[in-house]
């Protein structure tokens, strides 16, 4: 067992215990308590609030490689869902005071109120290298203002955690019942506004949908009805949609696919409407078409990932958040690979050769390019208009 101190002169108030016995001590902030999860790292320079509230991070503690966390504070407009979903956060420096005209609350107070643990003062470069070399470890994160930690117990909890492989988390983050969505993208000076006119009727399956995805659909011309992850093909088609959207989400796609794949296959067999998937929705579509997914060593988490569109030659700067990937070698005949990661060549997009059915692994709604990938929403709407 090895120990890494954040500051040897100060008594630590938080502890990060890895399953291999490595212990990181630091300064705790946010909620007091313990959590057990998978540890990943995110390289984005902005968007920590959106990351913490992205349902795709369920079951994960996020290490932020960018050191200035907390500098823009938090505000209700930037939440991607009602409450933080990521289990906790790891940062290099203690969160700074907010200095932004949009801030309504400090990050530390927000985390405390929302029940999420943070630890600061860690060598995030060392931690990130360990994740890249060894894979995403299971960890136990503890915050105790008195600095009392049962290290042996924390390591045991990290080792005992089952991990994300085989874990269906979509059921934990999906909506409890269906609802309508008509809020569009934020725009100066009015902020978020409602769709002024009727649009194309789209059913969105919520595997852990980010609000900004739904806003992009609304802004592109869609009237969106959101259904829970467990919705059946009968329930989807009963709404007579002009298009079906498959959202992002957390966990092992093969586990969620137990109920999601039959739904998607039923829609494809009984309807010719366009289908568009993002992230977990991309993986669900691939599984429904006959491909397989695999767990990645440390996944893709960041806002600077280059992705090449194989059909146009264009390179997009994208936002990524996934620990599983579609195995492109298992794509069946009639399904084309459309996008690949320029970091490692992994699959980032597919489409059916003869139908308006397509998906991407990355997050076009996060706009890191900033608008490199918005065309995908326009492509979806164009397909709806063509098939109407």
Identify which of 89, 37, 42, 40 has the alpha carbon closest to the alpha carbon of residue 320. 42
Residue where the block lists tokens 């107070």? 109
Rg (C-alpha) for the chain, rounded Å, is 21
Would you call 339 a catalytic residue per the annotation?
no
Q: Given the residues 15, 222, 279, 348, select the one marked as catalytic.
A: 279
Task: Report residue 314: phi and psi, to 5°.
Answer: -75, 140
β-strands 222-228, 179-181: how paired?
Answer: antiparallel
- Contact present, 361 and 348 (Cβ < 8 Å): yes
Q: Is the peptide bond before 378 cis (omega within 30 degrees of 0)?
A: no
Would you call 363 a catalytic residue per the annotation?
yes
- Contact present, 223 and 182 (Cβ < 8 Å): yes
Identify which of 34, 71, 30, 78 has the alpha carbon closest to the alpha carbon of residue 54. 78
Would you call 138 a catalytic residue per the annotation?
no
Q: How far are the Cα atoms of 103, 211, 375 from residue 189, in angstroms, in the given order?
A: 16, 20, 24
Q: Given the residues 138, 322, 339, 363, select the one marked as catalytic.
A: 363
Catalytic residues: 279, 363, 365
């Amino acid at each position: 067992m090895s120990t890494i101190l954040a500051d040897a002169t100060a008594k630590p108030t938080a502890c990060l215990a890895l399953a291999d016995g490595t212990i990181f001590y630091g300064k705790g902030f946010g909620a007091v308590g313990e959590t057990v999860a998978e540890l990943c790292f995110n390289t984005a320079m902005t968007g920590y609030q959106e990351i913490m509230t992205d349902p795709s991070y369920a079951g994960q503690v996020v290490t932020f490689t960018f050191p200035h966390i907390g500098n823009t504070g938090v505000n209700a407009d930037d939440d991607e869902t009602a409450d933080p979903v990521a289990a906790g956060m790891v940062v290099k420096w203690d969160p700074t005071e907010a200095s932004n005209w949009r801030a309504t609350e400090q990050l530390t107070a927000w985390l405390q109120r929302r029940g999420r643990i943070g630890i600061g003062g860690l060598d995030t470069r060392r931690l990130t290298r360990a994740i890249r070399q060894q894979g995403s470890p299971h960890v136990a994160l503890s915050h105790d203002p008195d600095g009392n930690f049962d290290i042996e117990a924390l390591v045991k909890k990290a080792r005992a955690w089952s991990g994300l492989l085989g874990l269906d988390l979509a059921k934990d983050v999906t909506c409890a019942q269906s609802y309508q969505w008509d809020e569009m993208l934020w725009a100066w000076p009015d902020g978020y506004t409602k769709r002024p006119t009727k649009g194309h009727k789209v059913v969105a399956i919520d595997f852990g949908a980010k609000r900004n995805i739904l806003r992009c659909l609304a802004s592109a011309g869609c009237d969106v009805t959101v259904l829970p992850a467990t919705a059946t093909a009968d329930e989807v088609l009963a709404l007579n949609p002009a298009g079906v959207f498959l959202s992002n989400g957390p966990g092992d796609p093969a586990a969620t696919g137990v109920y999601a794949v039959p739904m998607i296959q039923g829609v494809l067999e009984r309807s010719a409407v366009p289908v568009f998937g993002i992230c977990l929705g991309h993986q669900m579509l691939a599984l429904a078409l006959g491909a397989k997914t695999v767990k990645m060593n440390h996944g893709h988490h960041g806002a600077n990932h280059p992705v090449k569109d194989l059909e146009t030659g264009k390179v997009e700067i994208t936002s990524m958040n996934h620990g599983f990937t579609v195995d492109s070698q298992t794509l069946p005949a009639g399904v084309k690979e459309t996008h690949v990661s320029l970091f490692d060549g992994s699959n980032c997009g597919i489409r059916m050769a003869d139908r308006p059915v397509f998906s991407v692994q990355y997050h076009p709604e996060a706009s890191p390019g900033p608008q490199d990938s918005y065309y995908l929403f326009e492509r979806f709407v164009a397909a709806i208009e063509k098939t109407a």
